[in-house]
Structure 1
Amino acid sequence: METRYIALSYVWGNTETLQTIKSNLMHLKKPRSIHANLGSLKIGNTIKDALRLVSLLGERYLWVDCLCIVQDDLDTKQVYLNAMGSIYANAYFTIVAADGHNADHGLRGLGQGSRDRAIRLHLAARNPTWPDLGSWGEMVEEFNKRKLTFDKDVIDAFAGITSAFNNHFSGGILWGIPEIFFDHCMVWKPKDVLRRRRAYNHALSEDTLPSWSWVAWEGDVVPVGAPLILVDHPKLDAQSINIQPLAQWYKSKEPMSPLHPVENIGLSLQLNLNKSQSEQLSTGWTQGQYSDGTYYYTHETVPTVRFRYPIPLANENASALQQFNENGRYLHFKSQRARLSLGRELTDDLFNLTNCAGCLVDSEGNWAGTIRINASRFDSLPKGQSCELIALSLATAVNSGDYLGILDEWKLPERPRDTELYQFYYVMWIEWERGIAYRKAVGTVYKPVWENQVREDLDVILG
C-alpha cells in the first residue's frame, strides 16, 4: 500500500528558510526534529502553515521541496526535479500557495489574523492522460507571472510542471513549448510589458535563454497564441485557428551543432483527419459519428472525451526520456522575409492590456495587419519604423467566429470581411546579431497583402 502524502506548491523568493543539506540530513531524519524546534528554526511561514494544515486535516505527511530534497546533492536534486510532476500528480492533494512572492507569505486564513481570506486549495486530481493545451496554457500563465530570485532558475523552477506533462506531449517540451503543437505555441504573445530574463553565459558572451520562447520573458503571456481545440464538435467552437505550417523546424544546441528535427506532428494528425478510417485506427481508438455525419474519436483510457481526431496520448515510459529539452536553443528553418512599417496604435478598452498593439502598413500606408510589441507606449518606437518580418505559418479563421481577444485586428474596420474565411500569416519581427536572428514581436498579416509584398527566401537561425 502506498503512503499517502500532501504536497506543497509555493514560491521560495528571497526568504531564508531551512533547507535539507548533507550536513543536517541525519539530524532532520530524527522523529520530531522539526516539530520540537518549530519556533526556533528558520522555516518560512508558508511551510509552517502547511505543516499545521496537514495536522488539522488529520494527515501525517507533507512533501515540500526545500526539506525533502537534499539541496547540495546535485545529482539527487536533478533526479527529484525531473520527477516533480509525478510527485505532485501522485499526492493525495496539493496545497497551492497562490498568493505571495516568497516562502514567508504564509497561508492566509491559518494565521492569527487575516481571517477574511480563504486558503486556496487545489484538490489536485490526476493529470489528464492527453495533451490538454488548455491546462498547459493555464499553468504557463500562472508560472510566468511569478518573480524568480535568479533568472537562470527558470528552467529548474518549471521542471516540475514540465515533468508532469512530458509524457502527455509526443516529442516532449522544447524550452517550454510542446513540440507536438510547435507552430501553435511559437506565436505566443504578451499581455503585459515583459522583462527579458537574463541567464548569461560569460564564457560565450551571450544569453542562454532563447528569445523565441516565453521562458526568456517574465510576465503575463498567452502561451498558445493560435488556439487549437482538440475535443468536442467542431461546430461548437468559434475560436479555433487552423494553421498550415510553412517551416520544417530543426533545433541545435549551438548555431553550428548537428540539427535535429522538431517533432511537431500535431498538425499532420489534423491534416489527416479526413483520411482516418476506423479500420486504420491505432489500438484503443474508436470512431463515432454525430447526427450530422461529423466523425469523432474516443480512446479507451478516456472514454468520455470525444476527440476531433486521434492524437498521441500519455506514454508511461516516456517521462524518463523526455525531460526538459535544453539542447535545442537555436531553431533552423527556411522562411520568406518582407518589410512592413508600424502604423497607428490600437486602443484596448476591453481587455486592459498594458502592452501595445499596433497596425502594420505597407509602403503606401495601407493596412496590412497587426503586431503586439513589448512596450507600454506605442510612441516609444519611431513612427513609421520599418519592421523586418519573417513568415511562420499560414492561418485561417472563420469570419463568422468570435476571435475578440485572440486576433487584435478582429474588430478593426480595415479588416476584410467579404469572404467566409479570413486568411493571414503569422509573422515574427526579428533583429540580427552576429548572423543570428532574435525575436522582437509576433503579429499577423492579411494573406493577400503579404503575398503582394516583395519577398525573399531566407535561411534563418533563430536564437
Structure 2
Amino acid sequence: MQVFLTKDNDRLELDLGPLAALADTTCLGHSPLLNAYRNAMLPLSYDDLPIRLSAKIKPGAVSLCPQGIPLPDLTWELVLVNKESDPDHIGTGCILNADWVDIGLINQWRGRCRTLHGPKCGHAIQQVPLPTGPAWLIDLDNKCLVSGSAGKRFVALSYTLGRYPGFIMNSEKLVLLQQPHAISEPEFWGNIPPTIRHAMALASVIGERYLWTDVLCIVHGDVAATAAQLKLMSAIYANAVLTVVAADEDAQEGLLGLENISTSRNINQPVLPFGSKERIAVRDTNPLIYPVYHSRGWTYQEYLMSPRKVLFFEKQLHWECEHAIWHEDQTPGTNISQSFLPHPAPRLQVILAGFPELGSLERVISSYNTRNLAYDQDALPALTGLLSVFTRSFTGAFLYGLPEMFFDRALGWHPAWKGAGSRRRTPRTLPNATSTTSALPESSLPSWSWIGWQGEVSWPAREASRIDDNAGWPLAETFPITEWYTSRTPSGSPMRRVRSTWFENRDAIKDHTRPLPLGWTRHEGHAYTLTNTRTKGVEYNYPEGCGRYHYKHRKLTYKESSGQNSNLLDSWFHPIPVADMRSSPPAAFTMPEQTPYLFCTTKRSFLWARRDRKYGSLYIVNRSGQRIGALQLQLKKETREIPAFPPEAEGVSETHMHAERNTLGRRDELGRRIELVAINRQKMYVLAYDKERDMYLDPPRVYETYTVLWVEWEEGVAYRRGIGSVESRAWEEQDLEDVSLVLG
C-alpha cells in the first residue's frame, strides 16, 4: 500500500526477483497479482529467459515489467481501485462499465478544465481566429447543413476515413442537405460513415448544437472553394469548443460504447484482489503504442491544433488539453500519464506566438512528414491549413512547404538526421474523382521540396537567430548567390520572383544601434542559463557581429520543456520581426499559387563522389582525389544507392571535410561522376572541442561552404538526387560553368 502513497519520487524501482520464481511466492497479498502477471507472460515465450521482475514506482501507480525490457506488451501499469465509500481512500483507479462509456465525464472534464485552466488552455492557439467561420456546419437539432457564420460554437470531429469513402459532398447534395431533417433521410443517412453519425448524436448529448466534419462540411467539385476550406482547416480545429477524436480503426468502426447510440464496447478490464480488502486494476498501456490515427497525415494538423480533445481510444474515453490528460479509468483529476502523441507543442507555440523561427518549423514539419498518406499527392493539401496559419509568422507565405522569407536556406533541407534518407513520393489516381467530384486541388510533388519526399526533414546547422544551449551545435548564416523564380510550367511563362526577405534585411536586424522593435529588450553580454545542458567551460556560439548583447521578447519568456527535444533559450542573438497574430487580417490565411518549377542562373561543376569504407558516408572529391565536401542522398540506404558509389582505396585515412585533405592517387579511383549546382553560400560557426580537457573552446572557428545539389536532367528539367556541402575555396577553384537551372 505504501507505494501507492508515493507522490514525489517517481524514480524508485524494486527488484522482485526472477520471473520464473513468482509461482513460489507465499505472500497472500501479492501472490494473486504476481501469478496473474506470470501466467500472462507465458504465452509470449519469455518464460525461458533469465528475466528478473521489476516494480517501478510512479506517483499513484506501479509498473510491473522485466528489468531492462521496457516493452509495452510486457508492462502492466497497476492502480489501486478507489473505494467511493471511503473519502480518504488513496486509490485512483475506477471500475469501468464493460458495455458503455461514461458520457457524463465529458462535461465534467470540460468544466474542470474551465475551472482549473481557464484561458491558459490553448492560449497561443487562441490567437488563430477564424474570421468568417466554417463554410458549413451540421445543425444537430434540425439534421441539416447550415452556414457556419462567425461566432457559432461547434464541435469538430477528427478521424481516419479509410481508403474508399462512400460519401462525397458536391453542390447537388449541398442543396438537398440544407432542407430540415434531410441528413436523416435514408438515402443520405445510410451512406454517412458510422463514426460521423455517432459523433452527431454525442455532440447533442453533451449539449452542443453544431458539428463540423470534413465529409459533410467541405463541398467538392468547386476546386477553388475546396482549396479555400483546406486553408482554414487548422483554424477550424483551433476554434472548435471541443474536438472528438476517433483514434480506433477508421470511420466504419464508429464510436463504440455510446448507450442508445452505438453498440457495446465489450471491454475487458483486468481487476485483481490485493490483500483481503483491496483491488488493483491493470491499466491499458497501449496509449504508448501509436494507433493508425497517429500514423496518418491528414490527422496531424487536426490533433495538433485542437486545444481540447476527447479521445475514443482502446474502447475508453480520454481527455487531453494543454494542461491535463485524464482517463475514464481514473478518478477525476488524476493525471499520471503523458500525451497520447509526443507532438511538437512547444515549437508550435513559438510559431503561433508570431516568431518565424526556422528550428521550430523544422520540428513541426518533421513530425508530419514521417506520416502516411493513402495518396502521396495529398502531402501538401493535408498540411495546407497549418501552413496557412504559419504565414502569419513567416511573411511571404510558403512555396511547397518552404518558407519564402528563408527560401535560399530552406532549399538546402536534408533528409533525416542520420542519413537514413527518405522515400520519393509518387502521384496516384484518386478514386471517385471525376470532373464534378474532383476531391482536391491539383498538387505536384517537386523534387526540390520536402513535399516530394516522405521522411524527416532537417537543416543540420541552425540558422543563427535564437540562442541554443547546446554549445557543440554549429550555427550557420546563409548568403544568397542567385535570384530564384517560380512558374507552373517548365517553360517559365509566366514567372514570379521568390524573395528571401530574411537575408535581405539581416544586416539591419543585426544593427545594435537601431531602436528596438516593440516587445524586445536588450541585455548586456552573453546569455547564460541555470540549466545543466551546457557543456562546461564554454561561452555560447555567437555569429559575426553578435555577442556584446543578447535580446529577449515579452511573448516568449520560457524555455521549452526538455521532453520536447529543445535546448533553445528565451534569448536571441538579435531581435527579429515578430507578427502580431491577433491583428493579422483574414488575408493572412492566403497562400500564393503553388507553382512546381524553380529557375535561377548559378554555377555548376562535375565532380566525383566516393564512400567511406568504414561508415559508408559519401564524400565529394576533385580531380586530384582530394576530399572537398560531403554528400547526402535523398533515398534510404536500403535502396542500394550508396553501394553504387565506389569505396575509397585501402589505407586512406578518415578526415572531416574541413580537416587536412587526402589524395586518393589514381585517376581511375576518383569515384562516381556527378553534376553539382550551387544554391547558396554559408558561414559555419563551429566551436572546437578539446578532448583532453572535455570542453569546447572559444572563439568559434568559421568555415565558408557552398550548399550544392546533385541533380540529373530529364527533358530539360533538373531533379534533385542529393544534397551536399563543398568548401568555398575548393568550389571556386573548380572549372565552374554558368547554368540556367530549371528544377522540377
TM-score (norm 1): 0.76
Aligned residue in 2 for 1:146: 371
How much has 1:149 moved relative to structure 2?
Answer: 3.3
**Partner of residue 340 from structure 1, selected from 607, 610, 632:** 607
| Cα distance in structure 2, aligned partners of 1:107 and 1:269 | 52
Deviations 1:273-325 (A, max 9, x none): 4314343x45x2434114444131536x6677654322252565565366333
**Partner of residue 487 from structure 2, selected from 252, 266, 281:** 252
| Cα distance in structure 1, aligned partners of 2:684 and 2:479 | 12
Amino acid at match of 1:194: R
Deviations 1:115-164 (A, max 9, x none): 54339865537733232434433332233333333344333322212222
Deviations 1:16-70 (A, max 9, x none): 2544444444665577876898x97455566567667757876554422112222
Aligned residue in 1 for 2:230: 81
How much has 1:185 moved relative to structure 2?
Answer: 1.6
| Cα distance in structure 2, aligned partners of 1:131 and 1:60 | 38
Amino acid at match of 2:152: T
How much has 1:179 moved relative to structure 2?
Answer: 0.3
Aligned residue in 2 for 1:195: 424
SS in 2 for 1:170: coil
Deviations 1:95-127 (A, max 9, x none): 667787x64577899954595433986553773
**Partner of residue 262 from structure 1, selected from 460, 479, 498:** 498
**Partner of residue 180 from structure 1, selected from 401, 405, 408:** 405
Q: Is the 8 A contact 2:376 2:425 kept in 1?
A: no
- 1:265-304 matches, within 5 Å, as 265-279=501-515, 281-282=516-517, 284-292=518-526, 293-298=548-553
| Cα distance in structure 1, aligned partners of 2:256 and 2:684 | 44
Q: Is the 8 A contact 1:399 1:420 kept in 2?
A: yes
| Cα distance in structure 2, aligned partners of 1:194 and 1:257 | 31
Aligned residue in 2 for 1:313: 579
Amino acid at match of 1:368: I
Is 1:421 matched up with 2:702?
yes
| Cα distance in structure 1, aligned partners of 2:579 and 2:483 | 23
Cα distance change, pair 268–237 in 1 and its aligned pair in 2 (3 A): farther
Aligned residue in 2 for 1:358: 618
Amino acid at match of 1:326: E
Amino acid at match of 1:427: V
| Cα distance in structure 2, aligned partners of 1:400 and 1:36 | 69
Is 1:4 matched up with 2:153?
yes
| Cα distance in structure 2, aligned partners of 1:233 and 1:290 | 18
**Partner of residue 436 from structure 1, selected from 717, 725, 739:** 717
| Cα distance in structure 2, aligned partners of 1:137 and 1:108 | 37
| Cα distance in structure 2, aligned partners of 1:257 and 1:36 | 50
Q: Is the 8 A contact 1:185 1:225 kept in 2?
A: no
Amino acid at match of 1:295: H
| Cα distance in structure 2, aligned partners of 1:7 and 1:346 | 54
| Cα distance in structure 2, aligned partners of 1:113 and 1:135 | 40
SS in 2 for 1:84: helix
Aligned residue in 2 for 1:392: 679
Amino acid at match of 1:252: S
SS in 2 for 1:261: strand
**Partner of residue 736 from structure 2, selected from 437, 455, 460:** 455
How much has 1:212 moved relative to structure 2?
Answer: 0.8
Cα distance change, pair 341–174 in 1 and its aligned pair in 2 (3 A): same
SS in 2 for 1:439: strand
Q: Is the 8 A contact 1:397 1:422 kept in 2?
A: yes
Amino acid at match of 2:358: L
Cα distance change, pair 449–187 in 1 and its aligned pair in 2 (3 A): same
Q: Is the 8 A contact 2:676 2:711 kept in 1?
A: yes
Deviations 1:377-413 (A, max 9, x none): 34452532111101112223333279xxxxxxxxxxx
Aligned residue in 1 for 2:591: 324
Is 1:16 matched up with 2:165?
yes
SS in 2 for 1:272: helix
Amino acid at match of 2:424: R
Which ranges of structure 1 fall in alignment gaps of 5 or more residues?
Answer: 201-206, 349-355, 403-417
How much has 1:453 moved relative to structure 2?
Answer: 2.3
Aligned residue in 1 for 2:439: none
User: Which stretch shows the higher mean deviation, 447-456 or 158-167?
Assistant: 447-456
Name which one, 1 or 2, has greater alpha-carbon Rg: 2
| Cα distance in structure 2, aligned partners of 1:425 and 1:22 | 52
Amino acid at match of 2:392: N
- 1:31-50 matches, within 5 Å, as 41-44=190-193, 47=196
Deviations 1:419-450 (A, max 9, x none): 82343221100112233222111112233332
User: Which stretch shows the higher mean deviation, 43-52 or 356-365?
Assistant: 43-52
Amino acid at match of 1:171: G
| Cα distance in structure 1, aligned partners of 2:618 and 2:494 | 38
Cα distance change, pair 15–50 in 1 and its aligned pair in 2 (3 A): farther
| Cα distance in structure 2, aligned partners of 1:152 and 1:233 | 36
Aligned residue in 2 for 1:352: none
| Cα distance in structure 2, aligned partners of 1:314 and 1:98 | 35
SS in 2 for 1:431: strand
Amino acid at match of 1:240: L
| Cα distance in structure 2, aligned partners of 1:335 and 1:456 | 8
Cα distance change, pair 451–107 in 1 and its aligned pair in 2 (3 A): farther
| Cα distance in structure 2, aligned partners of 1:107 and 1:181 | 44
| Cα distance in structure 2, aligned partners of 1:400 and 1:49 | 58
How much has 1:174 moved relative to structure 2?
Answer: 0.9
Cα distance change, pair 144–224 in 1 and its aligned pair in 2 (3 A): same
Cα distance change, pair 156–233 in 1 and its aligned pair in 2 (3 A): closer
| Cα distance in structure 2, aligned partners of 1:186 and 1:108 | 46
Q: Is the 8 A contact 2:486 2:492 kept in 1?
A: no
Cα distance change, pair 290–9 in 1 and its aligned pair in 2 (3 A): farther
Cα distance change, pair 229–274 in 1 and its aligned pair in 2 (3 A): closer
Is 1:130 matched up with 2:355?
yes
Is 1:370 matched up with 2:669?
no
Q: Is the 8 A contact 1:172 1:179 kept in 2?
A: yes
| Cα distance in structure 2, aligned partners of 1:420 and 1:33 | 70
Amino acid at match of 2:597: Y
SS in 1 for 2:379: helix
Q: Is the 8 A contact 1:50 1:107 kept in 2?
A: yes
Cα distance change, pair 187–69 in 1 and its aligned pair in 2 (3 A): same
Length, aligned pairs only: 430
| Cα distance in structure 1, aligned partners of 2:614 and 2:247 | 31
Q: Is the 8 A contact 2:231 2:589 kept in 1?
A: no
Aligned residue in 1 for 2:382: 157
Q: Is the 8 A contact 1:343 1:359 kept in 2?
A: yes
Is 1:92 matched up with 2:241?
yes
Deviations 1:220-269 (A, max 9, x none): 13154553354347886834322222222222333331433212111233
Amino acid at match of 1:313: A
